[in-house]
Amino acid sequence: MSITLHDEVGEFLFKNGEVVFRIKALTNNDVDNTNDANNTSVERYVNLVTSKDDYEKQLQTHVYNPLLYACSFLLRLAYLYGCLNRRFDTPRDERFIFSYRFIGKNEWYEWFTISPVKDLIF
């Protein structure tokens, strides 16, 4: 799993309750971002629009795991919303793009991307 941050203020805005987020999964034959003309992509939305209150409920009802509270906020979101590898050494075939928008507005901004990678022990 690799996190690429596109917008540094997204986390601050979300924690202050000013924005909501959604997750788009991009599945394709080549998840390494090559711009091949034969590359076919499939997009799907993983979740509905998520508010700060929705996130807090998700976190509070999740089975307690102390690592969940020790990791970064972006990693916590990726874990809670099912964007990490499901099995050791088996990368996902999707990229997950988190976007946010201001409450009451329609324009979405890319926040960060979770890209698949093989798990490493060290």
**pTM (2 d.p.):** 0.84
Per-residue pLDDT tens digits for 43-95:
888 888 999 999 999 999 999 888 889 999 999 999 999 898 888 878 888 99
The rounded Cα 120 to chain-centroid distance in angstroms is 20
What local confidence, expressed as pLDDT, does residue 35 receive?
Answer: 52
Contact assessment for residue 3 and residue 113, using Cβ atoms and an 8 Å cutoff: yes
Per-residue pLDDT tens digits for 15-49:
999 999 999 999 865 545 555 555 567 888 888 89
For the chain, give every domain's residue range: 2-34+41-115
- Closest by alpha carbon to 2, among 46, 34, 32, 37? 32
What local confidence, expressed as pLDDT, does residue 39 receive?
Answer: 58
What is the CB-side half-sphere exposure of residue 6 using CA atoms within 13 A? 12
Average pLDDT over residues 92-121: 92
What local confidence, expressed as pLDDT, does residue 41 receive?
Answer: 73
What local confidence, expressed as pLDDT, does residue 110 receive?
Answer: 97
